[in-house]
Structure 1
């Protein structure tokens, strides 16, 4: 056994709906856009974020976690090359994110889940959490003890319960945000 743990035990992965879709999801850190995340965090719909993170802090936050980016192709390849397009920062635009703060084996904290408002309604949020659930499943992480998250929206509580089996385990009144957050926990490997 090595004395230094690897930085990531999970290889980057990319999901596509079909080869004609304008959207894809990837955990490839090379695709992450600090500028796109900064712009999203400065919008009101990302109510939980501190609005003034410096770019180096955002970079560390994105690369110190397992980040699932939601992307839109910005250039279309020629029809005969549809199967061969390769995602690169210069031919994609980041339009969403989910971060898993994790040790890659036993624990994960789901944070910063969003899809830009202009792209909502395309099933991208559900698809994003399905991709997260796939990676953090019993089959892929047999020793995962729990996934935790925070939300304030009853609709999202129902959503996370349905997709990852999360249950409300506590509450926190946040006067600074004028909200009450609920702590949710999923135990993917718990015996029923």
Structure 2
């Protein structure tokens, strides 16, 4: 009898910070198609545009989507932890990992709304992605890839995900040249402080 195929531990997780209204989760029940589509319509996301909601729903739920959220009301002192839902949270960021859940991940559609930038939420978001897409969490992981632009982002993704530039893609339609980055994980990504 053949053994069952290997599986990765992909149980949804939520990361929190002490005394902060912000949290990150890859629980698909929290994703707001409406909030993501509104962000896709803003100029700072130069690489995309809004989609029909059913199409975007499939994109977000067919990938592993990490959302950045803000609690709409402070956590109340209680014996049971607050249940997080789309009604008591606001989605303010996203990192979408297109993946088979075992061996491959392509990072796409990563953003934090401009009004929430500057508090380290983007770095925290990618640290959470790196935690899941590591050989410790996904022992059969073979490759991580992404496209980005600008030296600052190249350095950032190199530090957080261990990816390196392997090619360029001229994009006159958006007025930028994109760089293609990838990594074949061989070791744990650069050590970073533990996340909540």
Using the size of structure 1 for normalisation, the TM-score is 0.91
- When the two chains are superposed, the root-mean-square deviation of aligned CA atoms in Å is 2.2
The answer to whether structure 1 residue 98 and structure 2 residue 79 are counterparts is no
Q: How does 1:47-62 map to 2 (within 5 A)?
A: 47-49=46-48, 51-62=49-60
Secondary structure of 2:93's match? strand
Shift of 1:2: 9.2
Task: Report the Cα distance in structure 2 between the residues aligned to 1:82 and 1:178, rounded to whole angstroms.
Answer: 53
Unaligned segments of structure 2, at least 5 residues: 189-196
Tell me if 1:149 matches 2:139. Answer: no
Q: 4+ residue stretches of structure 1 with deviation over 4 A? A: 1-6
Aligned to 2:114: 117
1:67 aligns with 2:65: yes
**1:81 match:** 78
Corresponding residue for residue 29 of structure 2: 30
Higher relative contact order, chain-length normalized (CA < 8 Å, sep 6+): 2
8 A contact 1:143–1:189 mirrored in 2? no
1:12-31 to structure 2, matched below 5 A, reads 12-18=12-18, 20-31=19-30
| Aligned partners of 1:108 and 1:146 also within 8 Å | yes
Q: Does the CA-based 8 Å contact 2:135-2:187 persist in structure 1?
A: no
Name the CA shift for 1:17/1:83 in 2 (closer, same or farther; >3 Å).
Answer: farther
User: Offset of 1:9 from its aligned partner?
Assistant: 5.4
Normalized per residue, the structure richer in helix is 1
When normalised by structure 2's length, the TM-score is 0.89
